[in-house]
């Protein structure tokens, strides 16, 4: 087990939660990354009696090397460095430290892994199976179809679906209000199929005893909010039943939403807004996915390819 967080780390995490109002999941990620840093520093200095003022640029570079020896992905190392950089920036701003030793350290280059997405015929197979299960008119079956329609039809993140409350859905105007990353709200379209699936699910939801007008959209058998892991598990089981790639996950439905829109000629800026991305560069990865498909078509079809 790692040592208890230092006072400075606890103060910083409270700052993130209370003043910056970051989501609990983001704060938890910072907590884990800074706990790893503290664990490393205790080993690096050979004593638990070190101080943050001891940490310099060389020490933090050694921390990245420690992560590489543990076979952490570059993206994970970059995130841990970002957590350290933010923490030391806070210590400097609060005049606890004279400078920020993480400021000039370059993050590892990220791997350019293309997102896993499900082809159109695979999506059809998923929905065919989900429709069959929803036809049994159970809480589990109707809930799964509603979740699937929102993940693929509106491009929601897992966390956005998990925190979605019933009043956020406008089943008449066919739109849904989503609380995304950074607690930013956006309005995204709701497909007619999604509206039908939600209406089909609501009577089974009401049977759990949850409020008919408020509360979480996705509920468990006791009427409480359905957990993130439960959503992941029920979607993953459906993907496996349809023979999808082992790498496919809940997030693959969001990737598929974006990829299929771009493949059909949707404007990149429009897709950016639908996904709730802060930067266009984040959305552009889906153009690479589309280009990858086009190159395969070219190689397979062109006589001189």
Q: What is the CATH number of the domain that holds 32?
A: 1.10.150
152 — pLDDT class (breaks 50, 70, 90): very high
CA distances for 134 relative to 12, 35, 141, angstroms: 46, 44, 4
> Could you tell me the CATH number of the domain that includes residue 209?
1.10.443.10
pLDDT of 164 above 70: yes
User: Do residues 36 and 88 share a domain?
Assistant: yes
Question: What is the rounded average pLDDT of the residues 114-122?
Answer: 82
What is the per-residue pLDDT across 122-137, written as a single tens digit (0 to 9) for each?
999 999 999 999 999 9
pLDDT of 166 above 60: yes
Q: Is the pTM of this model over 0.75?
A: no
What is the per-residue pLDDT across 60-84, written as a single tens digit (0 to 9) for each?
999 999 999 998 888 889 899 999 9
Position 106 scores a pLDDT of 83
Active site residue: 157, 177, 200, 228, which one? 157
Domain boundary among 208, 228, 251: 251
User: Do residues 156 and 217 share a domain?
Assistant: yes
Whether 99 is covered by a domain: the verdict is no
The percentage of residues in the chain with a pLDDT greater than 90, rounded to a whole number, is: 60
User: Do residues 233 and 194 share a domain?
Assistant: yes
Whether 295 is covered by a domain: the verdict is no
Is there a contact between 207 and 139 (Cβ–Cβ < 8 Å)?
Answer: yes
The yes-or-no answer on residue 286 being catalytic is yes
User: Do residues 89 and 124 share a domain?
Assistant: no
262 — pLDDT class (breaks 50, 70, 90): confident
> β-pairing, 175-179 with 185-189?
antiparallel
Domain around 155: 120-251
Domain boundary among 251, 267, 287: 251
Whether 15 is covered by a domain: the verdict is yes
Question: What is the rounded average pLDDT of the residues 211-237?
Answer: 92
1 — pLDDT class (breaks 50, 70, 90): very low
User: Do residues 156 and 47 share a domain?
Assistant: no
User: Do residues 79 and 198 share a domain?
Assistant: no
Whether 68 is covered by a domain: the verdict is yes
User: Do residues 157 and 37 share a domain?
Assistant: no
> How many domains in the chain?
2
Whether 152 is covered by a domain: the verdict is yes
User: Do residues 246 and 125 share a domain?
Assistant: yes
Is there a contact between 286 and 255 (Cβ–Cβ < 8 Å)?
Answer: yes
Whether 58 is covered by a domain: the verdict is yes
Question: Average pLDDT of the chain?
Answer: 88
CA distances for 270 relative to 262, 263, 277, 285, angstroms: 10, 13, 11, 15
User: Do residues 124 and 27 share a domain?
Assistant: no
Domain boundary among 206, 229, 251: 251
Contacts of 260 (CB under 8 A, 6+ apart): 117, 120, 123
Active site residue: 254, 255, 260, 272, which one? 254
User: Do residues 134 and 29 share a domain?
Assistant: no
Position 296 scores a pLDDT of 67
What is the per-residue pLDDT across 178-204, written as a single tens digit (0 to 9) for each?
988 877 889 999 999 999 999 999 999
The yes-or-no answer on residue 184 being catalytic is no
What is the per-residue pLDDT across 9-23, written as a single tens digit (0 to 9) for each?
999 999 999 998 888
User: Do residues 126 and 244 share a domain?
Assistant: yes
Whether 17 is covered by a domain: the verdict is yes
Contacts of the segment 134-138: beta carbons below 8 A, 24+ positions apart: 134/197, 134/200, 134/201, 137/204, 138/204
The yes-or-no answer on residue 157 being catalytic is yes
The yes-or-no answer on residue 162 being catalytic is no
Whether 156 is covered by a domain: the verdict is yes
User: Do residues 77 and 134 share a domain?
Assistant: no
The yes-or-no answer on residue 254 being catalytic is yes
Active site residue: 181, 225, 236, 293, which one? 181
Q: What are phi and psi of 185, to 5 degrees?
A: -90, 145
The yes-or-no answer on residue 277 being catalytic is yes
Active site residue: 61, 228, 236, 251, which one? 251
């Amino acid at each position: 087990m790692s040592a208890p967080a230092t006072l400075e780390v606890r103060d910083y995490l409270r700052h993130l939660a209370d003043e910056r109002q970051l989501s609990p999941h983001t704060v938890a990620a910072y907590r884990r990354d800074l706990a790893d840093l503290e664990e490393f520093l205790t080993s690096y200095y050979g004593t638990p009696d070190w101080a943050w003022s001891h940490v310099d640029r060389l020490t933090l570079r050694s921390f990245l090397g420690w992560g590489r020896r543990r076979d952490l992905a570059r993206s994970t190392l970059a995130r841990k460095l970002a957590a350290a950089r933010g923490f030391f920036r806070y210590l400097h701003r609060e005049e606890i430290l004279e400078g920020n030793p993480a400021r000039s350290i370059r993050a590892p280059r990220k791997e350019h892994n293309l997102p896993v997405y499900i082809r159109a015929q695979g999506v059809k197979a998923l929905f065919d199976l989900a429709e069959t299960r929803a036809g049994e008119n159970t809480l589990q079956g109707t809930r799964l179809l509603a979740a699937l329609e929102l993940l693929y039809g509106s491009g929601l993140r897992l966390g956005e679906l998990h925190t979605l409350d019933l009043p956020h859905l406008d089943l008449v105007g066919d739109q849904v209000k989503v609380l995304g990353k950074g607690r930013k709200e956006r309005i995204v379209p709701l497909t007619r199929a999604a509206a039908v699936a939600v209406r089909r699910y609501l009577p089974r939801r009401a049977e759990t005893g949850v409020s008919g007008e408020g509360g979480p959209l996705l509920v468990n058998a006791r009427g409480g909010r359905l957990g993130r892991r439960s959503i992941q598990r029920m979607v993953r089981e459906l993907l496996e039943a349809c023979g999808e790639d082992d790498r496919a996950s809940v997030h693959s439905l969001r990737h598929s939403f974006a990829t299929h829109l771009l493949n059909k000629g949707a404007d990149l800026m429009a897709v950016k807004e639908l996904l709730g991305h802060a930067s266009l560069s984040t959305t552009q990865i889906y153009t690479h996915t589309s280009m990858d498909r086009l190159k395969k078509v070219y190689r397979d079809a062109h006589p001189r390819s």
